[in-house]
Structure 1
Amino acid sequence: MFFALFALTVAAPVWAIRLPFHSWSTHSTVSLSDGSRYVAYHPPPVFEVYDTGLTARLTARGSSHKEAGLAFLRDRLGAETVQFKSSLEGDVTTHIYVTQQIHGVPVHNAVANVALNKAGKITSFSSSFVPSPRSVAPSTPTLTAEDAVRRVEEALNGAVVADHPVDLEYYAQESGDLLLVHGVPLDLTSGQRVLALMNAETGDVVTVINQTLDLTYRAVPLAKNVPVDNFELIVDPEDPLASPNGWTTVNGIDTHSTNGTNVIGHAYLFASKPVNETSPGAYDYPYDFTIDPKTRSDVNAATVNGFYVVNMMHDITYHYGFTENAFNFQGNDPIRLFVTSTAYGTNNANFFPSRDGVSPQLHVLVWTYTTPGHDGALENDIVIHEYTHGLSTRLTGGGVGTCLNAAEAGGLGEGWSDAVADWVSQTSLPIKDYVIGSWAKNITGGFRSQPYSTSFAVNNQTFSRLAGNNTEVHWIGELWAEVLHLQLAALVDKYGFSEDAKTNPNGSGGNVLWLHLLIDALSIQPCSPTFLDARLAWIQADANRYAGANKCLLWNVFASRGIGINANSSHTDNFDIPAECS
Structure 2
Amino acid sequence: MQNNLLLPTLGCWLLLLFCGPQVWAQTSQEQIQQLLLEEQKQLGLSPSDLSEWRIYDRHQSKQTGVEHIYIRQMYQGIEVQNAVINLNLKNGQLVSLGNRFEANLAQRVLAGSAQITPATAIQKAADALYLPPLQNLRELESSGPTSYLFSPAGISLENIPLKLCYQPGPEGEIRLAWDLSIYQTNKQHWWSLRIDAQNGEILGQEDWIKHCSFADHAFGNCSRPDVPHLPTVSGTLANNALPAQYRVFAEPLESPNHGSRTLEVDPADTTASPLGWHDTDGQTGAEYSITRGNNVHAYEDRAAADQPGYSPDGGSALNFDFPLNMNQQPAAYEDAAITNLFYWNNLTHDVWYHYGFDEASGNFQENNYGRGGQGGDYVFAEAQDGGGTNNANFGTPPEGSSPTMQMFLWTNGGGATSLLDVNSPSSIAGTYTATEGSFGPNAPTTPITEDLVLANDATAPDPNDACDPLANAASLSGKIAVVYRGNCTFIAKVQAAEAAGALAVIVINNTAGAPITMGGTGTSNIPSIMISDTDGAAIVAEMANGTVNASIGNFSTNFDKDGDFDNGIIAHEYGHGISTRLTGGASNSGCLGNAEQMGEGWSDYFGLMMTIEPGDQATDVRGIGTFATGQATTGTGIRPAPYTTDMAVNSYTYGDVNNTNLSEPHGVGFVWATALWDLNWALIDQYGYDADLYNGTAGNNMAMNLVINGIKLQPCSPGFVDGRDAILQADQLLYGGANQCLIWEVFARRGLGASADQGSSNNRSDQTEAFDLPTSCQTPVTAPTANFNSLLVSACGSSVNFEDQSTDVPQQWRWDFGDGNTDTLPNPSHSYSANGSYNVVLVVSNSLGSDTVSSIVTISIPTAPTAANQTICPGSTSISANTSSNSVIWYDAQGTPLDTSITFVTPNLNNNTTYQMEGVTFYPRSFVGIDSAGASGNGGYHNTGFTGSQNFEAFKPLVIVSGWIDAGNAGPRTIYLWDANDGSGNIVDQVTINAVGGPQRVELGLEVPGPGNYSLGGTSINLFRNNAGASYPYVVPGLLSINSSSATTGPLDFWYYVYDWEVEEAPCRSPFGNVSLNVNNGAVFSYTASDLDLSFTDQSANASSWAWDFGDGNSSSLQNPTHSYNLPGTYTITLTVNGNSSCVYSETITITESSIQNLANGNSMQLQPNPAKEISTLSFSQPLESEQRLELISLDGRLLNSWPLAIGQSRLEIDLQQLVPAFYILRLTDKNGSHSLRLLVQ
Q: TM-score range by the shorter chain?
A: 0.7 to 0.9
Aligned mates of 1:63, 1:209 — CA distance in 2: 37
Matching residue's letter, 2:623: V
The residue that corresponds to 2:178 in the other structure is 182
The structural deviation recorded for 1:548 is: 0.9
The structural deviation recorded for 1:274 is: 5.0
Q: Does the alignment pair 1:555 with 2:592?
A: no
What is the 5 A alignment of 1:480-499?
Answer: 480-499=672-691
Matching residue's letter, 2:311: V
Q: Does the alignment pair 1:324 with 2:342?
A: no
Match of 2:703 among 514, 529, 547: 514
What is the 5 A alignment of 1:430-449?
Answer: 430-431=617-618, 432-443=620-631, 444-449=635-640
Cα 1:477–1:181 change in 2 (3 A) is same
Match of 2:102 among 130, 153, 164: 130
Deviates more, 1:133-142 or 1:487-496: 133-142
The residue that corresponds to 1:289 in the other structure is 326
Q: Does the alignment pair 1:359 with 2:402?
A: yes
Match of 2:116 among 132, 143, 147: 143
Match of 2:603 among 417, 433, 438: 417
The residue that corresponds to 2:269 in the other structure is 239
- Pick the structure with more helix per residue: 1
The residue that corresponds to 1:31 in the other structure is none
The residue that corresponds to 1:193 in the other structure is 190
The residue that corresponds to 1:227 in the other structure is 257
- Is the 8 Å Cα contact of residues 228 and 378 (structure 1) preserved in structure 2? no
Alignment partner of 2:731: what SS? helix
Aligned mates of 2:180, 2:25 — CA distance in 1: 40
The residue that corresponds to 2:1219 in the other structure is none
Deviates more, 1:242-251 or 1:394-403: 242-251
The residue that corresponds to 1:19 in the other structure is none
Alignment partner of 1:383: what SS? helix
What runs of 5+ residues in structure 2 fail to find an aligned partner? 1-23, 132-154, 216-253, 367-375, 414-557, 759-765, 779-1242
The residue that corresponds to 2:463 in the other structure is none
Aligned mates of 1:142, 1:316 — CA distance in 2: 49
The residue that corresponds to 1:114 in the other structure is 87
Deviates more, 1:136-145 or 1:455-464: 136-145
The structural deviation recorded for 1:447 is: 1.1
The structural deviation recorded for 1:140 is: 4.9
What is the 5 A alignment of 1:152-551?
Answer: 152-158=125-131, 159-163=155-159, 165-187=161-183, 191-216=188-213, 227=257, 230-252=260-282, 254-269=287-302, 272-280=308-316, 281-295=318-332, 298-331=333-366, 332-343=376-387, 345-370=388-413, 371-399=558-586, 400-409=588-597, 412-429=598-615, 430-431=617-618, 432-443=620-631, 444-470=635-661, 471-500=663-692, 502-504=693-695, 507-551=696-740
Alignment partner of 2:704: what SS? helix
The structural deviation recorded for 1:74 is: 5.8
CA-based RMSD: 2.3
The residue that corresponds to 1:15 in the other structure is none
Alignment partner of 2:293: what SS? coil
Aligned mates of 1:142, 1:447 — CA distance in 2: 47
Deviates more, 1:571-580 or 1:466-475: 466-475
Aligned mates of 2:33, 2:262 — CA distance in 1: 50
- Is the 8 Å Cα contact of residues 70 and 96 (structure 1) preserved in structure 2? no
- Once the two structures are superposed, residues 454-486 of structure 1 have per-residue CA deviations (whole angstroms, 9 ceiling, x without a partner) of 111111111111122235211111111110111
Deviates more, 1:306-315 or 1:153-162: 153-162
The structural deviation recorded for 1:71 is: 3.8
The residue that corresponds to 2:61 in the other structure is 90
Aligned mates of 2:578, 2:354 — CA distance in 1: 13
Alignment partner of 1:111: what SS? strand
- Is the 8 Å Cα contact of residues 157 and 189 (structure 1) preserved in structure 2? no
- Once the two structures are superposed, residues 425-471 of structure 1 have per-residue CA deviations (whole angstroms, 9 ceiling, x without a partner) of 11335444322111110122211121111111111111111122235
Matching residue's letter, 2:592: L
- Once the two structures are superposed, residues 260-296 of structure 1 have per-residue CA deviations (whole angstroms, 9 ceiling, x without a partner) of 221121211266325142432112222220111133x
Aligned mates of 2:397, 2:659 — CA distance in 1: 31
Alignment partner of 1:336: what SS? strand
Alignment partner of 2:193: what SS? strand
The residue that corresponds to 1:577 in the other structure is 773
The residue that corresponds to 2:485 in the other structure is none
Deviates more, 1:103-112 or 1:167-176: 167-176
- Is the 8 Å Cα contact of residues 273 and 350 (structure 2) preserved in structure 1? yes
Cα 1:299–1:315 change in 2 (3 A) is same
Whose radius of gyration is greater, 1 or 2? 2
The structural deviation recorded for 1:107 is: 1.0
The structural deviation recorded for 1:154 is: 3.0
* Number of positions where the alignment pairs a residue of Structure 1 with one of Structure 2: 507
Matching residue's letter, 2:267: P
The structural deviation recorded for 1:489 is: 0.5
Identity %: 33
- Once the two structures are superposed, residues 207-239 of structure 1 have per-residue CA deviations (whole angstroms, 9 ceiling, x without a partner) of 322333111159xxxxx9872573222111111
Q: TM-score, normalised by structure 2?
A: 0.39
Alignment partner of 1:239: what SS? coil
Cα 1:358–1:225 change in 2 (3 A) is closer
Aligned mates of 1:108, 1:489 — CA distance in 2: 39
Aligned mates of 1:244, 1:428 — CA distance in 2: 28
Matching residue's letter, 2:199: T
- Is the 8 Å Cα contact of residues 382 and 406 (structure 2) preserved in structure 1? yes
Alignment partner of 1:206: what SS? strand
Cα 1:213–1:69 change in 2 (3 A) is same
- Is the 8 Å Cα contact of residues 108 and 172 (structure 1) preserved in structure 2? yes
What is the 5 A alignment of 1:32-111?
Answer: 64-65=26-27, 68-69=31-32, 71-73=34-36, 76=40, 78=47, 79-91=50-62, 92=64, 93-111=66-84
The residue that corresponds to 2:912 in the other structure is none
- Once the two structures are superposed, residues 98-129 of structure 1 have per-residue CA deviations (whole angstroms, 9 ceiling, x without a partner) of 11111111111111111123x43211101111
Aligned mates of 2:172, 2:102 — CA distance in 1: 8
What runs of 5+ residues in structure 1 fail to find an aligned partner? 1-61, 219-223
Cα 1:274–1:262 change in 2 (3 A) is farther
Aligned mates of 1:320, 1:214 — CA distance in 2: 25
Alignment partner of 1:201: what SS? coil
- Is the 8 Å Cα contact of residues 256 and 277 (structure 1) preserved in structure 2? yes
Matching residue's letter, 2:641: Q
| Larger RCO (CA under 8 A, 6+ residues apart) | 1
Matching residue's letter, 1:485: W
- Pick the structure with more strand per residue: 2
Aligned mates of 2:621, 2:748 — CA distance in 1: 20
The structural deviation recorded for 1:519 is: 0.6
The structural deviation recorded for 1:66 is: 5.5
Aligned mates of 1:433, 1:112 — CA distance in 2: 39
